Amino acid sequence: MTDDPAPRQIDARGLRALAHPLRMQLLELLKLDGPATATHLAARVGESTGTVSWHLRHLAEHAFIEDVPERGTKRERWWRAVVKPRALHTAEFRADPQSRGALDVYLTESWRQQAARVVESFADADTMGPEWVRARNVADWSGIRLTAGQLAELNTRVLDLIREYEQLPEEPGSATIVLQFQSFPRRPEEDSP
């Protein structure tokens, strides 16, 4: 795995490779739960091992995941997510119809996964312990008025803070955290006559 903190720019080819609901689900499972085999993942997603293996090879071809040779055997291949920030500049894909379709699939599935994580967190409240229930947060600051420059500055400051926490050594009692952050301007309503 790479330690380079610079975000990987997703190009049109990589976007088309990633923009599939099953591949996005497999990548998410590998990111959140760690290395797994196609057989294990197939059981989790309700697909055949052959189908999952094909999708895993496709993700590997585009460097979203990689083989874990030290865990594998001749009969069993282990995979892990390539944990590196990815940057997707959506404006680059809007003019090309093929890329636009892939972008729509990717964004729709990303938002679906993010919403599902929040719902699951609240459904699992009884199993996570009171300290985790008190520590979590779901907030909405919609309505703040900023310029494009102020929004860019806010995003930079929040991402810098997140990167600081990414560098902390793991301590006893640590858990995998799902941190979702979105910031975007709301499309203004048409002025009424």
Using the structure block, give the residue that is written with the tokens 């989790």.
44
Read off the DSSP letter of residue 79.
Answer: E
The distance of Cα 87 from the centroid of its chain, to the nearest Å, equals: 11
Evaluate if residue 138 carries a pLDDT over 90: no
Domains for the chain: give ranges and CATH numbers: 8-126 (1.10.10.10)
Confidence at 193, pLDDT banded by 50, 70, 90? very low
**188 three-state secondary structure:** coil
Size (the chain), residues: 193
Evaluate if residue 161 carries a pLDDT over 80: yes
Q: Give residue-wise pLDDT tens across range 38-91.
A: 999 999 999 999 999 999 999 999 999 999 988 877 788 999 999 777 777 787
Return the axis-axis angle of helices 49-61 and 21-33, rounded to nearest 10°. 80
* 81 beta partners: 65
- Give the span between the Cα atoms of 56 and 66, in whole angstroms: 9
- Give the span between the Cα atoms of 110 and 21, in whole angstroms: 9
- Give the span between the Cα atoms of 34 and 60, in whole angstroms: 15
pLDDT greater at residue 91 or residue 31: 31
The distance of Cα 153 from the centroid of its chain, to the nearest Å, equals: 23
Question: Do 110 and 181 meet the contact criterion of CB atoms below 8 Å apart?
Answer: no
- Give the span between the Cα atoms of 88 and 8, in whole angstroms: 9
Q: What is the pLDDT of residue 20?
A: 94
Q: What is the pLDDT of residue 154?
A: 95
Averaged pLDDT for residues 18-42: 94
Q: What is the mean pLDDT of the chain?
A: 87
